[in-house]
Structure 1
Amino acid sequence: MDRHTVGTLQIIAGAVCWGSLGVLGATLNRLSFGSTEVAALRIVIAAFLLLAVLPYFLPYLKQLGLRQLPVLVGQSFIGMLGMSMLYFAAVSKVGSSLAVALLYTAPVWSLIFARILLGEGITQRQAVLTVVAAAGVGLTMTGGGAADWAGIAAGLGSGICYALYGVLGKRAMSGNPPMLVFFTSICCSALLLLFLPDTHRALHKLWFQPWFVWLSAVSLSLVGTIAASALFMRGLEKMPAAKASVFTIFEPLTAVLLAAFLLGERLGVLQYAGVALIVAVAVLNALGRKQVK
C-alpha cells in the first residue's frame, strides 16, 4: 500500500473517531452528566492518559520555550477548552447531528476572521460559499418545534472556536512539533479545569458508575480525542493539508449516522438539507485551497 493511500486511510479513521464525540457526549448526557461535565471528562481523562505515556512526549517538551507558551496556552483555552464546552452544550440542546453541522461552519468563520484580523480579501466564490453556509444554518432551524436558540448559539460558538483553533494552531506549530502542540492543548486545558467545581463533580459522579459509563467516558478521550488527533497528524505527514481536509467530511457523516442508529435522533428533510449544505461548503472550501506539497 503506497504512502498516500495509508495517509488517506489514517485521515478518514481520524475523522470517524472525531465523529464519535457527539454520540458519546449525548450518551453521557442521558446518564445525568451535564455538558460542562462531559467536556471536563473528555479533556481531563485525556490528560491523564497522555501523562501515563509522558516519556514519549519528553523530547518534545524539552523544545518548549517561554516565548512560545502564551500562544500554546491561548490555542489550548480557545481551541480545545472553548470548542469542547460549546460543542457539548450544543449536543445536549440540539442533538449531535445539528451540533456537528454547526461546528462545521468553522471555514466560514475562518474567512471572516481572516478579513477582520488579517485584512485578507474575500473572493466572490468565498462570498457565495458563505451565503450557502448561512442558508444551511437557517435550514437546520426548521424543526417541528421552536428553535433552541441557546443550542444553535453554542453550536455556532463551537465553530468559531474551531476556526480560531486552526488560526492559533498554525501560529503555535510555527517552530513547534505538532505533538507538542497536541500535548499542551490537552494538558493546559485540563490544568484549568481542575480548578472548576464541575470537574470534581463529574469525576466524583463517574467514580460510582458501572463499567459501561466508564467505557463511554474513556472512549470520549481515547477514541474521540487522542486516537483521532494522532491518526489525523500521522495522515497529514503523508499528504497535503488541503487534500486531507476534504476527507474530514467523514466526521459529520459519522456523527449523523451514529446519532440516527444509536440514539434514534431524527431530523426533518429541510434540516438534513441544511446539514448537507454546511458540509458541502466545508468540502468546497477545502478543495478551493492551493495544493501545497
Structure 2
Amino acid sequence: MNRVAQHPVQAFIVALVAVGVLSVMDAVMKALVLALGIYAVSVWRALVGLVMASALYLPRRLPWPSRATLRIHVARGAVVTVMALLFFWGLARVPMAQAIALTFIAPLIALVLAAIVLGEKIGRRSVLGSLAAFAGVVVIVAGQARAELGPGVLLGTAAILASALCYAVNIVMMRHQAQAAKPLEISFFQSLTITVLMLAAIPFLGMPEWPGVQWGWIVVAAAMSFAGVLLFAFAYARAEAGYLSVTEYSAFLWAAALGWLVFDEGVSLYTIAGAALIVGGCLLAARREPGKAPEMEVAA
C-alpha cells in the first residue's frame, strides 16, 4: 500500500473547507425540507446522489466486494439513512446553531458505544467530558423551554439527539468499514443503500412530491454532500484524525451565521453556553494520557 505524504496544515485547511461546504448544504436542505417535506427531499436527493456516485465508481470496473463487506455497507447505509432523516426533520424545526451544537455530543456517545461494542476503556477524562457535554445539552434545552418555542422545537431537538446517537453508531461502524473498502466504494454503496430504502417506502408513503423549481437546489445539495465526503477523505489521508477533529466545531459558526442570514434565526446565550460546554467536554475527552500512542482512523 502506498502511503500518502503528510501535510497537516494543508489537511487542516481542506477539512475546514469541507465543514463549510457541508454547513451550507445543511442550510440548503433546511430550506428544501420546509418547501417540500423531508420525504420528497430525501427521495430525490438520494437518486441524484446515486447518479453522482455511480458516475465515479462504476467506470473503474473494480471487483465486487465480498459478502461480509457488503453486509457492512448495507448496515451502515441503513444507519446513515435513519440519521439523515432524523437530522433534517429536526433541522427544519430547530434553529441551525442549536441543532449543530446538539450534534457535537455524538463523539462522546461513540466513546461509550466503543466501550460496549469494541471493549475499549473509558478514562476519567472521558467521563468528565461526557458530563460536561450532557450539561451543555441540558442548558440548550432549558433555553428552548424558557423561550417557549413550542412543542415542534422540542420534538425537533429530540430528533436531532436521536440522529446524534445514530451518528455515534456510524462512527463505530466506520472503523470496520474503512478497513474493508476504499472511500469511492463506501460512497457508492452508501448511496445505493439509501436510494433502495427510500424507494422501498413509496408503496407505503406514496409517490414523493415532484420538486419542480427546486430541482436545481436538490442537485446542489447532493453535489455539496458528495464534495464534502471527498474533501474529508483528502484531508484525513494527510493528517491524524485527532488533529483534524477540532475543525468540526467550526460548523457552529457557520450554522449561527447561515441561520441568521438565511432564516432570520437568533443565537441565544443559552445556545452559546451549551455549545461551549459540549465542545469543552469533547476536547477534554479527546485528550490522551501522556505517553499514549494516537489511534489512526480512516474517514469514510
- Does TM, normalized by the shorter one, top 0.5? yes
Matched, 1:130 2:130: yes
Name the count of aligned residue pairs.
Answer: 282
Deviation of 1:5 after TM superposition, in Å, equals 2.6
> Which residue identity lines up with residue 23 of structure 1 in the other structure?
A
Contact 2:57 2:185 in 1 (8 A): no
- 1:134-145 aligned at under 5 Å gives the runs 134-141=134-141, 142-143=143-144, 144-145=147-148
Corresponding residue for residue 65 of structure 2: 64
**Aligned twin of 1:219:** 220
Corresponding letter in the other structure for 2:186:
V
Deviation per residue, 1:5-32 (Å, 9 max, x gap):
322222111111121233112211332x
- The one-character-per-residue Cα deviations of 1:63-85 (angstroms, maximum 9, x if unpaired) are 5111211111101110x211101
> Does the aligned pair in 2 maintain the 1:169–1:181 contact within 8 Å?
no
1:46 aligns with 2:58: no
Q: CA deviation at 1:244?
A: 1.7
> Whole-Å Cα distance in 1 between the matches of residues 86 and 189 of structure 2?
20
Name the structure 1 match of 2:156. 151
CA deviations on 1:152-179 (whole Å, 9 max, x unpaired) are 2111111111111111111111132222
1:98 corresponding residue in structure 2: 98
Q: Deviations for 1:93-141, whole angstroms, at most 9, x for unmatched residues?
A: 2132222222221112112212333343321111111111111111111
Helix, strand or coil for the counterpart of 1:258?
A: helix
* Rounded Cα–Cα distance in structure 2 between residues aligned with 1:12 and 1:29: 26
The 1-side partners of 2:15 and 2:267 are apart by 27
Shift of 1:287: 4.6
In the other structure, the counterpart of 1:160 is 165
Runs of at least 4 residues off by over 6 Å? none
Task: Map 1:118-267; keep pairs closer than 5 Å.
Answer: 118-141=118-141, 142-143=143-144, 144-145=147-148, 146=150, 148-197=153-202, 201-202=207-208, 204-206=209-211, 209-210=212-213, 213-223=214-224, 225-267=225-267
Q: Call closer, same or farther: CA 1:92–1:21 in 2, change over 3 Å.
A: same
Offset of residue 150 of structure 1: 1.8
SS of 1:222 mapped into structure 2:
helix
Structure 1 unaligned residues grouped into runs of 5+? none
Q: In structure 2, what residue type is equivalent to 1:134?
A: F
The residue aligned with 2:7 is 3
Give unpaired runs (5+ residues) of structure 2. Answer: 1-5
C-alpha spacing 1:92/1:115, structure 2 compared with 1 (3 Å): same
Distance (whole Å) between structure 1 residues aligned to residue 93 and residue 60 of structure 2: 37
